[in-house]
Amino acid sequence: MGLRIAVLGCGRIGQMHAANIARHPRAELATVYDIERRSAERVARAQGVSAAKSAQEIFASREIDAVLIATATPTHADYIEMAVAAGKPVLCEKPIDLDLARANACAAKIAGANVPVQLGFNRRFDPGHSAARTAMQAGEIGDLHQVIITSRDPALPPRAYLEAAGGLFRDMTIHDFDLARFMLGEEPTEVFALANALIDPELGAELNEVDSAMFVLRTASGKQCHINNSRTAVYGYDQRVELMGTTGMLISDNRKPHELRRFTSRNVEAGEPYQFFFLERYIEAFMAEIDGFVDCVEKGTPPLAGFEDGRRALVLAEAAYVSMREGRLVQVSEGTA
């Protein structure tokens, strides 16, 4: 008998989590819920479980050990609070909220509850990124000096998605801010951001949104970090991490669907385009994330990505927006005032 997990939210990512939990050796899918009843029922049927009628039903049930929250962003903080109040461990998709104040309020509310809350920063669980960090921590590159994160989506999301996403920094870069913190091993204290709409200039005019961005971060001890983002990597989802230190460098590079290479009179060693979709690129990471969550609940190990990590990533996103608007290097505060 595995950990009985309920999934709230049956969109694209909720469906994936439901399927992953269903085939996870140490977990089982208890039920699924969605504000659109038919979505929940469709997913429930596919996984051979019954759909819940309400979120409350889930929080109240004794047959459910833990919850995974993959609903719309504005509900995250509420559900986290309800789950914690019900004593149910939570794995919640990022971001906690688009509003840092709401995240802070949530932090205050759940403080001291001693119920595990894990944030859905899946990249921390990626085998390559994770092995890079392990190698660094084992001293393979001496002292870390620079981190370079390349993070590019294969294509611009639909306009409707963009309108609700809260802006590039909170929606997409938030993963990179988290990865930067994960790799740097200490808090960035300064942030610089520069961004504009290159792919779709109308984005800028109509939504005040950007699609291409570059960031520089620095920690108190002087470690430097660069992040670059784009919404249009036609060669596939581009996800690289480079760690440069005094005695070596580590690169967690992109992964191809298979290792066929082509050699012609035009070019050689040509590989298959990278995975196009984040669900495929990070499939192992999403499974390992569930693994880690089961460990949190069963063994009491602290989550690899916790609530405070989710909040800190938001603080960086906020600081980055200030930097972009004011064209200056911004000092990063605790973000709680």
Near a second copy in 139-168, by CB under 8 A = 140-141, 143, 145-146, 148, 150, 152
**Distance between CA 92 and CA 8 in Å, rounded?**
10
**Distance between CA 14 and CA 20 in Å, rounded?**
10
CB 188 within 8 A of CB 316: yes
**Distance between CA 309 and CA 226 in Å, rounded?**
19
Give the torsion sign (CA, 142, 143, 146, 148).
Answer: positive
**Distance between CA 151 and CA 174 in Å, rounded?**
11
CB of 250 to a second copy, least distance (A): 6
Q: Considering beta carbons, is residue 54 or 137 the nearer one to a second copy? A: 137
Contact flag: residue 235 with a second copy (CB under 8 A):
yes
Give the torsion sign (CA, 292, 295, 297, 300).
Answer: negative
| Residue ranges in 249-268 that form contacts with a second copy under rule CB under 8 A | 249-268
CB of 42 to a second copy, least distance (A): 15
Q: Considering beta carbons, is residue 12 or 23 the nearer one to a second copy? A: 23
> In the set 218, 287, 291, 322, which binds a second copy (CB under 8 A)?
218
Q: Considering beta carbons, is residue 148 or 207 the nearer one to a second copy? A: 148
Q: Considering beta carbons, is residue 114 or 208 the nearer one to a second copy? A: 208
Burial of 326 from C-beta contacts in 10 A (0-12 / 13-18 / 19+): exposed
| Residue ranges in 184-203 that form contacts with a second copy under rule CB under 8 A | 190, 192, 194, 196-199
**Can you read off the two tokens belonging to residue 16?**
């994936």
Contact flag: residue 283 with a second copy (CB under 8 A):
no
Cis peptide preceding 201, ω within 30 of 0? no
SS3 304: coil
Residues 6+ apart with CB under 8 A from 337: none
Contact flag: residue 208 with a second copy (CB under 8 A):
no
Q: Write each residue from 296 to 315 as x if it is in contact with a second copy (CB under 8 A), else as -, in one continuous string.
A: --------------------
Q: Which stretch binds a second copy (CB under 8 A): 56-64, 121-129, 177-185, 314-322?
A: 121-129
Contact flag: residue 269 with a second copy (CB under 8 A):
yes
Number of residues that bind a second copy (CB under 8 A): 72
